Chain A
Amino acid sequence: MMPDETPQQASRWAGARFALPLGAFLALAILLGVGLGLNPREVPSPLVGKSAPHFELPQLHRTGENFSEKDMRGKVWMLNVWASWCAACREEHPVLVALAKSGALPIVGLNYKDKREDGIAWLARFGDPYQLSAYDEKGKVGIDYGVYGVPETYVIDKQGVIRYKRIGIVTPDIVKNKILPMVSELNREK
């Protein structure tokens, strides 16, 4: 206590002494609380806004034919990375089937590190929302697209630029509030 402080001033000091640590504690608690709510798997992708990396892969069904991202030039389309071994893909699948049925945009699959017959059987069993699937047996194209958790989804514009990336399941909410508005906007672009 300072020599010329009155008791009132002293009690104000004591108040600050409680308020400061309490405030600091609350700030830290809020910071950590928000941190807990974030998903550490959602790493911001440096690919959004860049040209989709070039690739050329055999198709899953028509083994003799190749697919390249260049085949989709001039279209707004979706690239969805999936695999028959991926449990989350099954959860996502009905959403993609519904989206494909709506005809909002063509969906191309990238069958990632899968066995060809497993991939084909999986689509036969659960329905095939894809215009076609490219077959990335070794996962090399996956690396070029920064894939690390299947499923991953990209929306690519007419110029071949990645405009949106989703790591993890595409939910009906994301389709309705994010993808569909974006697609109709991108379709208006030249």
Chain B
Amino acid sequence: MKNKLIMVSLLVAVAMPGMASEAQPTATNVALEKRVMALAEELRCLVCQNQTIADSNAPLAIDLKNQVREKLAAGMSERDIIDYMVARYGDFVLYRPPVKATTMLLWFGPPLLLMLGLWLFLRTVLRRRAGAMAPLSAAEQTRAHALLDDKENGRP
């Protein structure tokens, strides 16, 4: 029994530093961290351009996350921080670019192309359907006859 107690206390003592190494997050910390991550999801990592800074572990992404954390803690709003980033890195830093004159094609190009494709597709289908039913014109009729006659007569 005594031995067991010593064992357990030894184990606890060994495990202690592991537990202590990470600071216990306080309630405000958790809330702040949530806001930091939410904002980080909106910001593009400029080093690894198809990732947000939330996803990236590039040194610059970590710096920017720290910057976001610092500024949020200092009482800046999300909007202020977005503006701060855009002032330095341009609209490109936004993972969802704003709708502006220069980004019209980016936003509306794909739906436009889709609509164009649908229109072409429908037009082709309808036309083909109508074409199958349409009677031959007089000129086509004579041409068809001529061709058929040729074949029947065995001429090339």
Contact = CB atoms under 8 A, between A and B. Distances in A.
A43 B89 contact: yes
Interface residues of B, number: 22
Chain A: interface residue count, which band? 20 to 34
Nearest to A47: B88
Interface in B58-99: 59-60, 63-64, 67, 86-92
A139 B63 contact: yes
Chief secondary structure at chain B's binding surface: helix
Contacts of A113: 59
Contacts, number: 50
B64 A143 contact: yes
B37 interface: no
B135 interface: yes
B49 A145 contact: no
B88 A46 contact: yes
B123 interface: no
Interface in B119-144: 131, 134-135, 137, 139-140, 143
A151 to B, nearest CB: 14
Contact of B90 (A41, A45, A53, A142): A45
Contacts of B67: 140, 143
B135 A145 contact: no
Interface in B17-66: 46-47, 49, 59-60, 63-64
Interface of A: 1, 3-7, 40-41, 43-47, 53, 113, 138-140, 142-146, 148-149
Interface of B: 46-47, 49, 59-60, 63-64, 67, 86-92, 131, 134-135, 137, 139-140, 143
